[in-house]
C-alpha cells in the first residue's frame, strides 16, 4: 500500500495513468481472499482501475515440476504483463525493498550464484514474461523498517503475509534466523555492507556483459579459448538463455571446456558448444536412453560409501604397503588407483556421447562407445555402466572395463585408493 499511495500522490503532478493489479496464488485460503478484497477496496477508494486474477500455484508447480516459489513467480509475471498490455502501460511498479535485496543476496550465495546473480535486483529492467514491459522498483533503496514507519506516520493501512513466518521456506530462514544472528554477533552494519557488495557486483557484471557482447563479434577473428574465462562463461550463459535453458554452473563449465562434445540435458536431448561459442541442441534416439543422473563424490575423507544407480560403491585410502597383492591385479568388484592422480573430488555418472577412455595397458585413449562395442557389451547395457570422472572430466574408471592407464598404481604411489562396488541387493558379477 505504501508504493500505491506514493505513486497516486506523485501522479497528481505528472500525467500518469495508474492501475492496480493483484494476483492471488491460492496458497493461503481465506487469508489470500481477504488480501484480494483489501487491495480491490483500496483501489476503489483511490478511484483507480483494478485488475485481479488467481491461479492454483500448487497444481501448477506439480504440472511443471517447478518449485512453488518459481511457479508463483512465473504465473505472477505473466499476469502483470498481461494487465500492462491491456491497460497500455509501459511499466509495472513492484514494491521490493532493501531488505528483499539482502535476503536475495544470501539466497543466491547459498545456491552458488555467480557475480550477475549476486548483483541482485536492478531498480529497472525488462519483465521475464515480456521484455517490452519494464519492471521498476522505486522502493529498492528503503528498508522494511523505514517503509513501515512511514506507513504508520501517514496512517496507511496494510496487511501482513503470515507465510513470511513459516520456518520451512529458505527466505524466511534467512530473514528470521541467519540475518539476525549476523547483525547481532558479526556485523552490525550488515545490510549496508551487503548492499554495497551487490552494487559492486552489478557494476562488474554490466562491464563483463558489455565486454562479452564485443567478444562475440570478434569470435570469428579470435578463438573462443583465447578470450578471458569470465567472458567465456557469460557468452555461454547468454546462449543458454537464448535456448530457454537454466545456466547451471556445472553445465556452463562443461560447455566452456568441451567443444563439440554432446552432453545430455534431458532424455533424448543433447547440447554441445560449437567452436564459435554458440550452442546447438540435438535430439537423439530415445531408445536406449542415455541416463543423465550424476553424483559428485568428495574423497577427502579416508573412507566412505555412496549409493548410485543401484550400486553400493565404497572407497578407502591406504598406504601401498598394506596391500599384500599387486595393486594393479584385478579382483572381482575391486580396483586400486593412485589416489593423487584421481584427485579429491570425482563424479559418478553414466556413459555420455563423446567420452574417451584409456584402459590400463592400452597406449592411447579411444572412444568409450567403440570400446564398449568391441568388448561386446550389449547395446541396452552400455547406458547402465557407471563411469567415474575426475574434476577435469577425465574417465578414470568404467564399470566392467577396469581402470584408466594414467590412474594406475606405480612405484611412486604414496596413497592407494581402494575402490569396491556391488549391487545393493548382492554382488556385481562384472
Q: What is the pLDDT of residues 19-78, one digit of tens each?
A: 999 999 888 878 888 999 999 999 999 999 999 999 988 888 777 777 788 888 999 999
Dihedral (C-alpha) 83, 87, 89, 95: value to the nearest 10 degrees? Answer: -50
Task: Pick the more confident residue, 149 or 245.
Answer: 149
Q: Which of 401, 400, 388, 294 is nearest to 341 (CA)?
A: 388
Q: Identify the H or E element spanning 264.
A: strand 263-266
Task: Pick the more confident residue, 188 or 428.
Answer: 188
How far apart CA 330 and CA 312 sit, in angstroms, is 19
Question: pLDDT category, 287, cuts 50, 70, 90?
Answer: very low
Is the pLDDT score of 280 beyond 90? Answer: no
CB 124 within 8 A of CB 135: yes
Is the pLDDT score of 343 beyond 80? Answer: yes
Burial readout 163-176 (b: 16 or more C-beta within 10 A, e: otherwise): eeeeeeeebebbbe
Is the pLDDT score of 253 beyond 90? Answer: no
- Residues 307-333: what's their mean pLDDT? 74
φ and ψ of 51, to 5 deg = -125, 125
Question: pLDDT category, 419, cuts 50, 70, 90?
Answer: confident
Is the pLDDT score of 426 beyond 60? Answer: no
- The partner residues of 297 in beta bridges, in order of sequence, read 346
CB 127 within 8 A of CB 134: yes
pLDDT for residue 8 = 92
Joined grid coordinates for residue 86: 491491456
Question: pLDDT category, 189, cuts 50, 70, 90?
Answer: very high
How far apart CA 417 and CA 386 sit, in angstroms, is 17
Range name among 21-25, 131-135, 241-245 with the lowest pLDDT average: 241-245
CB 301 within 8 A of CB 385: no
Residue-wise pLDDT for 163-179, tens only, equals 777 777 888 999 999 99
Is the pLDDT score of 385 beyond 60? Answer: yes
Task: Pick the more confident residue, 77 or 162.
Answer: 77
**CA torsion sign, 144 to 145 to 151 to 157?**
positive
Q: Which domains, and CATH codes, for the chain?
A: 2-186 (3.40.50.620), 218-283 (no CATH), 295-423 (3.50.40.10)
Mean pLDDT, the chain, as a whole number? 86
How far apart CA 348 and CA 330 sit, in angstroms, is 21
Question: pLDDT category, 282, cuts 50, 70, 90?
Answer: confident
How far apart CA 348 and CA 366 sit, in angstroms, is 20
> Per the confidence metrics, is the pTM higher than 0.75?
no
**3-class state of residue 392 by DSSP:** coil
Is the pLDDT score of 100 beyond 60? Answer: yes
Is the pLDDT score of 377 beyond 50? Answer: yes
φ and ψ of 275, to 5 deg = -65, -20
φ and ψ of 218, to 5 deg = -105, 5
pLDDT for residue 427 = 42
- Residues 373-392: what's their mean pLDDT? 83
| % of residues, the chain, pLDDT over 90 | 35
114: left (phi over 0), alpha (psi -120 to 50) or beta: beta
| % of residues, the chain, pLDDT over 70 | 93
CB 40 within 8 A of CB 4: no
pLDDT for residue 112 = 82
pLDDT for residue 290 = 62
pLDDT for residue 144 = 93
Query: Long-range contacts for 268-273 (Cβ within 8 Å, ≥24 apart)?
Result: 270/353, 271/243, 271/245, 273/224, 273/236
Amino acid at each position: 500500500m505504501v508504493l500505491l499511495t506514493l505513486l497516486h500522490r506523485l501522479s497528481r503532478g505528472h500525467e500518469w495513468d495508474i492501475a492496480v493489479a493483484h494476483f492471488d496464488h491460492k496458497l493461503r485460503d481465506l487469508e489470500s481472499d481477504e488480501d484480494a478484497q483489501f487491495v480491490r477496496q483500496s483501489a476503489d477508494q483511490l478511484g483507480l482501475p483494478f485488475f485481479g486474477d488467481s491461479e492454483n500455484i500448487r497444481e501448477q508447480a506439480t504440472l511443471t515440476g517447478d518449485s512453488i516459489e518459481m511457479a508463483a513467480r512465473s504465473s505472477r509475471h505473466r499476469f502483470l504483463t498481461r494487465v500492462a498490455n491491456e491497460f497500455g502501460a509501459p511499466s509495472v511498479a513492484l514494491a521490493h525493498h532493501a531488505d528483499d535485496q539482502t535476503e536475495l543476496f544470501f539466497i543466491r550465495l547459498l545456491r552458488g550464484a555467480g557475480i550477475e546473480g549476486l548483483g541482485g535486483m536492478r531498480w529497472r529492467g525488462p519483465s521475464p514474461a515480456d521484455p517490452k514491459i519494464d519492471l521498476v522498483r522505486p522502493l529498492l533503496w528503503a528498508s522494511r523498517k523505514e517503509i513501515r514507519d512511514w506507513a504508520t506516520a501517514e496512517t496507511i493501512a496494510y496487511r501482513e503475509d503470515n507465510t513470511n513466518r513459516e520456518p520451512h521456506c529458505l527466505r524466511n530462514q534467512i530473514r528470521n534466523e541467519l540475518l539476525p544472528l549476523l547483525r547481532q554477533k558479526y556485523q552490525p552494519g550488515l545490510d549496508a555492507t551487503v548492499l554495497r557488495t551487490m552494487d559492486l557486483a552489478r557494476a562488474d557484471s554490466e562491464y563483463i556483459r558489455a565486454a562479452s557482447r564485443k567478444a562475440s563479434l570478434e569470435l570469428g577473428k579470435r578463438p573462443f579459448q583465447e578470450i578471458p574465462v569470465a567472458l567465456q562463461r557469460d557468452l555461454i550463459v547468454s546462449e543458454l538463455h537464448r535456448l530457454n535453458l537454466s545456466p547451471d554452473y556445472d553445465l556452463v563449465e562443461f560447455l566452456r571446456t568441451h567443444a563439440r562434445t554432446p552432453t545430455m540435458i534431458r532424455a533424448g536431448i543433447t547440447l554441445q558448444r560449437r567452436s564459435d561459442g554458440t550452442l546447438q541442441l540435438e535430439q537423439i534416439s530415445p531408445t536406449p536412453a542415455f541416463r543423465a543422473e550424476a553424483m559428485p563424490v568428495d574423497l577427502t575423507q579416508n573412507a566412505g560409501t555412496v549409493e548410485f544407480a543401484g550400486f553400493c560403491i565404497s572407497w578407502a585410502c591406504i598406504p601401498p604397503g598394506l596391500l599384500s597383492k599387486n595393486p594393479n591385479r584385478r579382483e572381482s568388484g575391486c580396483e586400486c588407483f593412485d589416489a593423487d592422480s584421481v584427485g579429491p573430488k570425482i563424479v559418478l555418472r553414466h556413459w555420455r556421447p563423446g567420452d574417451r577412455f584409456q584402459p590400463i595397458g592400452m597406449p592411447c585413449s579411444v572412444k568409450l562407445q567403440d570400446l564398449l562395442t568391441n568388448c561386446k557389451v550389449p547395446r541396452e547395457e552400455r547406458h547402465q555402466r557407471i563411469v567415474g570422472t575426475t574434476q577435469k572430466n577425465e574417465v578414470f574408471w568404467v564399470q566392467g572395463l577396469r581402470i584408466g592407464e594414467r590412474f594406475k598404481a606405480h612405484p611412486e604411489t604414496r596413497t592407494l585408493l581402494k575402490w569396491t562396488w556391488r549391487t545393493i541387493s548382492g554382488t556385481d558379477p562384472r
